Amino acid sequence: MTQKRALISVSDKNGITEFAKELVSLGYELISTGGTKKALQEQGIPVLGVSEVTGFPEILEGRVKTLNPLIHGGLLAKQDDASHQQQLDEHGIQAIQLVCVNLYPFQQTIAKPDVTVADAIENIDIGGPTMLRASAKNHQYVTVVVDPADYQTVIDELKAEGATKFETRRKLAAKVFRHTAAYDSLIAEYMTQLAEEENPEQLTVTYELKQTLRYGENPHQQAAFYKKPLGSTFSIANAVQLHGKELSYNNINDADAALQIVKEFSEPAAVAVKHMNPCGVGTGNTGFEAFTKAFAADPVSIFGGIIAFNREVDAETAGKLHEIFLEIIIAPSYSEEALAILTGKKNLRLLTIPFNEAKKPEQKMTTIEGGLLVQDQDRYTLEDATVTIATKRQPTTGEWEALKLGWKVVKHVKSNAIVVTAEDMTIGIGAGQMNRVGAAEIALKQAGSKAEGAALASDAFFPMDDTVEAAAKAGITAIIQPGGSIRDVDSIKKADEYGIAMVFTGVRHFKH
């Protein structure tokens, strides 16, 4: 019986000495690269250096250590094939049965704020992935371990059966290919950014499992939540849950929607979301004031909703929040008293997120059957737009406040979208209608008598003057919309007829 060999070459040395000791006791001869060899020898574990096997030193500051046919022949040979065995014998190569490799920490390196390009490049592992991929390809014969979490399973199987099961080797090999693909994907992303390339001919993205979910949008749909490595920290994927039941698929989507809206505000704001649309948005001098308005905006729809704050939740606000049934509260922080009040509700999920906006917003990706759409996020604000007043009358200062609020909110409402606002709160929201006047009718009906003297925002232009007519009849005195319809003149004429001030932004905010 030939000597069994295991090759160990790891950057993350956690658990490696225990694993190596077990392998030795199971009769394996160990071979290792410099640092790993040293770590094992320090624990008194017998180990042969890769250089002793290859007869070739590690060169170029470790850029070439294991890249040698005496190693790769041992990894790639079919171990029950006479011709392969004959070739190994001819070249003095010994087959390797077990490989344990983990890679240079590229992700951790580029996550450092002061990382240099040279440092990042040096942390691109070449020899490691080559060994991993060779062993994973040859998993019929080779057990390959990339994740320290698998050490114990491998040892248990070796002890119980004298060899690992084929199913285990196949699983470990699949894990290796996922791992090396993800590793390369991060390198590709980093290099693409360095080269300042957009819309590359191949898009390689990688996500890490954050959580398996109980179910998807509906109970019969299985689902999971993946997180972007080194993604935005101002994200639901980065939230810390302080209390309450596990987040569901719909919770995550809704919480993300609420967060995107509350991000629009620098003044204290509260945003209530249902089914990914805002149902109430309020602003004020304090979080409490903001919440009071967001609640008053639509006290019916907020039931079972998600609330996002951009200020600490204090005890006074917590007391009000406690009175209603909510799924989630998101805030940068909670006062101790507020936490004590809110944790009294067993199921209420309390999340915190550090409110620090990323320098460069991530691109938005939407899957379709058989494809993926990628676009920039819609971060356009009124400050970026060239605003014109289309009507004879200019908005008053108060109307401007309401228009600005409406414009911030309408961007986040599913199209066709109409939002009716007062200066510091929404009072009617019409979402996701197939015609614009339909969305306006819903928003105006909800606003009721509060539409008198209020403002109306539309995510896209008015194809005809019917929305202006409906708005005027409900008492709206100011409108904000992109403009740009061939029938703009009709809408302007109608607005002038009713003395409405109408602002054109020149920018559309569809959201589908």
CA distance readout (Å), 147 to 140, 153, 180, 228, 346: 19, 11, 12, 19, 37
Selecting among 13, 84, 137, 445, the annotated active-site residue is 137
Which positions from 418 through 447 interact with ligand FAI, judged by CB under 6 A? none
CB of 251 to ligand FAI, least distance (A): 39
Q: Does 63 bind ligand FAI (CB under 6 A)?
A: yes
The one segment of 21-29, 119-127, 258-266, 408-416 that binds ligand FAI by CB under 6 A: 119-127
Interface with ligand FAI (CB under 6 A), residue from 17, 21, 56, 62: 62
Q: Token digits for 167?
A: 């199913």
| Residue (62 or 463) nearer to ligand FAI, CB | 62
Count of residues binding ligand FAI (CB under 6 A)?
A: 21
* By the rule CB under 6 A, 52 interacts with ligand FAI: no
**Of positions 99, 103, 213, 447, contacts ligand FAI by CB under 6 A:** 103
Whole-number minimum distance, CB 38 to ligand FAI, in Å?
8
Place of tokens 């403002």: 455
Longest CA pairwise span in the chain (Å): 98
How far apart CA 427 and CA 294 sit, in angstroms, is 9
In the region spanning residues 287 to 316, those forming contacts with ligand FAI, defined by CB under 6 A, are none
Taking CB under 6 A as the binding criterion, the range among 4-12, 216-224, 347-355, 495-503 that sits at the site for ligand FAI is 4-12
Q: State the minimum distance, in angstroms, from the CB of residue 216 to ligand FAI.
A: 37
Closest by CA position to 418, among listed 489, 493, 364, 482: 482
Judged by CB under 6 A, does residue 101 bind ligand FAI?
A: yes
Kindly state whether residue 112 participates in binding ligand FAI, applying the rule CB under 6 A: no
Question: CA–CA separation, 32 vs 24, rounded Å?
Answer: 13
Is residue 51 close enough to count as binding ligand FAI by CB under 6 A? no
Determine, following the binding rule CB under 6 A, whether residue 477 of this chain makes contact with ligand FAI. no
CB of 99 to ligand FAI, least distance (A): 10
- The strand ranges marked E within 36-116 are 48-49, 98-102
Does residue number 482 form part of the binding site for ligand FAI (CB under 6 A)? no
Asked whether position 64 contacts ligand FAI by CB under 6 A, the answer is: yes
Shortest approach of ligand FAI to residue 35 CB, angstroms? 2
Residue 62 or 453: the one with the smaller Cβ distance to ligand FAI is: 62
Q: What residues contact 126, with CB distance under 8 A and at least 6 apart?
A: 63, 67
275 is an active site residue: yes
Contact between 127 and ligand FAI (CB under 6 A)?
Answer: yes
Distance CA 246, CA 244 (A): 7
Cα–Cα distance between 367 and 361 in angstroms, integer?
19
39 by DSSP, 3-state: which? helix
Decide whether 101 or 427 has the Cβ nearer to ligand FAI: 101
Task: Select which of 84, 171, 245, 275 is catalytic.
Answer: 275
Q: Which of 73, 74, 128, 395 binds ligand FAI (CB under 6 A)?
A: 128
Nearer to ligand FAI, 120 or 387 (CB): 120
Phi, psi of 353 (to 5 degrees): -140, 135
Judged by DSSP in three states, 305 sits in: strand
Least distance to ligand FAI, CB of residue 105, Å:
8
Task: Find the shortest distance in angstroms from Cβ 145 to ligand FAI.
Answer: 13
CB of 77 to ligand FAI, least distance (A): 19
| Residue 450 DSSP label | G
Which CB, 159 or 178, lies closer to ligand FAI?
178
Residues in 20-39 at the binding interface with ligand FAI, rule: CB under 6 A? 33-36
How does DSSP assign 465-482, residue by residue?
THHHHHHHHHT--EEEE-
Three-state DSSP at 315 gives helix
Nearer to ligand FAI among residue 126 and residue 242 (C-beta): 126
Task: Annotate 200-251 with DSSP letters as a single string.
Answer: -SS-----EEEEEES-SSSTTS-EEEEE-TT--SSSGGG-EEEESSPPPHHH
- CA distances 379 to 24, 245, 375, 376, 430, Å, are 58, 32, 12, 8, 21
Q: CA nearest 270: which of 249, 295, 248?
A: 295
Which of the residues are catalytic?
137, 275
Binding site for ligand FAI (CB under 6 A): 9-11, 33-36, 62-67, 101-104, 125-128
